[in-house]
Amino acid sequence: VIMSAFLIMFFPILSKLASSITQIQSEEDLAMFIQSEIISTSMLMELIPYLVVGFLLIIIIGTAFNLGIIKMSQEALKGKTTWRTILKTPLSKIITAISAHIIVLIMALLAVAVLIAAFAVNIILGAIAYIAFIIFIIHFSLVEHAIMLDDFKAISSIKKSFNIIRGNFWLFFKIILANMIISILLSLLDGIFPIFSLLQMFVVTPVFLIIYTMYYLDNRKIKKTKRKYSKIKKKRKRKR
């Protein structure tokens, strides 16, 4: 699907390139083809609408796929799931997730501005700001889970993700770190044995998606239990 989006994005260039190649019949034609400017300024201007459409397709399809996989992870934990779940992702949740990602992106850009300013002042201060930036971004890793599994709206899902990860940050950090290390190792091994890319795609990624979903569901229950307990304590205090 992503490849199809890229084909849409670069269709004008590819079609012109293909027509130019078919016209090569001699060495002189080949030399002229190499020296010619395949991509002109006007071609780039014509390419903009295709770039926009392709970019939007990647965002929409990618978000729908992520939400569907999250729902599949929840179903898998219950014992049974199917690929049809991805196709059943509601459009309203896709729009909500994209809205949430835009808000997180704006916050990230503001954080990057602070990070650049910190590096401009001092390298040590910049290093501290960089670590703080990574920790800050990690807190929004469960936004799509909150939207898909609990029907949260954009801003509410951001708050939910932040609160859940803040409550048990180091456990989630270890999960992400393990995922990163395994992915890097498989990428290195894939250069020797291509089968490792399939292992990453069909084994490691689904397993960690289920782990992220388990983390969300477990910590969501903990948060709810804490709220109920705090309400009970408040009621008891009022009675006294």
> Distance between CA atoms of 115 and 5, rounded to whole angstroms?
33
Residue 14: is its pLDDT beyond 80?
A: no
Mean pLDDT of 12-27: 66
Q: Where are the beta strands (DSSP E) in 173-231?
A: none
Residues in Cβ contact with 104 at an 8 Å cutoff, skipping those fewer than 6 apart: 140, 143, 158
pLDDT at 225: 47
> Distance between CA atoms of 117 and 111, rounded to whole angstroms?
10
Q: What are phi and psi of 189, to 5 degrees?
A: -70, -25
pLDDT at 16: 64
pLDDT in tens, 36-68: 555 556 666 666 776 677 778 778 888 888 898
pLDDT in tens, 65-123: 889 888 988 888 888 888 888 888 888 999 999 999 999 999 998 988 888 888 888 88
Q: Which of 61-65, 120-124, 211-215, 230-234 has the lowest mean pLDDT?
A: 230-234
List the one residue out of 5, 141, 14, 13 whose CA is nearest residue 62. Answer: 5
Q: What are phi and psi of 236, to 5 degrees?
A: -65, -40
3-class secondary-structure state, position 194: coil
Contact between residue 118 and residue 126 where contact means Cβ atoms under 8 Å apart = yes
pLDDT at 101: 92
φ/ψ region of 153 (left if φ > 0, alpha if ψ in -120 to 50, else beta) reads beta
pLDDT at 145: 93
> Distance between CA atoms of 173 and 134, rounded to whole angstroms?
10
